[in-house]
C-alpha cells in the first residue's frame, strides 16, 4: 500500500520506492494490461501547509496497435508531480483541478495510491503502433495488410466533405 507518514514529511524530505504488483487492487478496473509491477519512485516534501510529491512511474504495458490491433509491449516511464493541500470546504475540494489533491484534515498518514493510479492512467499513450511501417487493416474485409494482401477494390463514392466545395463566400 502506498502511504506517506505526514510526521516524517514534517521532519524533512521522504523518499518512497515501491513496486506495486500488476495484480494489485489499485490497478483493478482500469482495463489496462500491466505486464510487470509498477515501479513507484517518489520524493515528498512539505511546502507551506501542503505536501509536494514528485517522482517517476515505470512499468511494462500491453497495448494494441492503433492500425492493425496486434498486441504491442511498451516500456512506460513518466514523471509525476502532484500537490496535497488542505481544503477549507467540500465545495473547494470539488473545484480542484490538475494535480492538486485534498490533504486529509486529520490523521498521520496520506494515501498516495489514488493519485498514483490517476497519474498512471493520464500518462499512458493512447495511440501506439507496432512499427512505423504498419499498414493496418483493410477497411472493407478487415485483413491484416502486414500479413497478406486482399483483393478488395477501394470504394469509389462521393466524399461526404465534397459538399463543402460548393460553398461560396463573399
Quote the CA–CA distance of 93 and 95 in Å, as a whole number.
Answer: 5
Q: How do residues 67-106 score in pLDDT, each as one tens digit?
A: 999 999 999 999 999 899 887 655 554 555 556 888 887 7
CA 121 to chain centre: 2
pLDDT, mean of residues 32-38: 93
Please give the backbone phi and psi of residue 105, each rounded to the nearest 5 degrees, phi first.
-70, -25
3-state SS, the chain, equals CCEEEHHHHHHCCEEEEEEECCCCHHHCCCCCEECCCEEEEEEEEEECCEEEEEEEEEEEEEEECCCCCCEEEEEEEEEEEEEEEECCCHHHHHCCCCCEEEECCCCCEEECHHHHHHHHHHHCCCCCCCCCCCCCECCCCCCECCCCCCCCCCCCCCCCCHHHHHCCCC
* Nearest C-alpha neighbor of 55 from the set 78, 36, 24, 22: 78
pTM of the model: 0.77
Taking only the tens place, the pLDDT of each residue in 137-149 is 998 899 999 999 8
What is the rounded distance in angstroms from the CA atom of residue 165 to the CA atom of residue 143?
33
Q: How far apart are CA 107 and CA 155, in angstroms?
A: 65
**What pLDDT score does 162 carry?**
82
Does 157 or 110 have the greater pLDDT score?
Answer: 110
Amino acid at each position: 500500500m502506498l502511504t506517506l507518514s505526514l510526521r516524517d514529511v514534517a521532519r524533512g524530505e521522504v523518499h518512497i520506492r515501491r513496486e506495486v504488483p500488476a495484480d494489485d487492487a489499485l490497478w483493478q478496473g482500469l482495463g489496462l494490461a500491466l505486464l510487470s509491477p509498477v515501479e513507484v519512485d517518489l520524493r515528498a516534501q512539505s511546502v507551506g501547509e501542503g505536501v509536494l510529491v514528485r517522482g517517476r512511474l515505470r512499468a511494462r504495458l500491453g497495448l494494441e496497435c492503433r492500425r492493425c490491433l496486434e498486441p504491442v509491449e511498451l516500456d512506460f516511464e513518466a514523471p509525476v508531480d502532484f500537490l496535497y493541500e488542505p481544503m477549507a470546504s467540500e465545495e473547494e475540494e470539488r473545484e480542484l483541478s490538475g494535480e492538486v489533491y485534498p490533504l486529509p484534515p486529520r490523521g498521520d498518514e496520506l494515501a498516495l495510491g489514488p493519485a498514483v493510479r490517476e497519474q498512471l492512467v493520464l500518462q499512458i499513450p493512447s495511440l501506439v503502433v507496432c512499427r512505423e511501417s504498419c499498414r493496418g487493416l483493410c477497411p472493407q474485409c478487415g485483413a491484416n495488410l502486414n500479413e497478406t494482401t486482399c483483393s478488395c477494390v477501394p470504394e469509389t463514392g462521393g466524399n461526404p466533405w465534397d459538399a463543402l466545395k460548393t460553398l461560396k463566400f463573399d
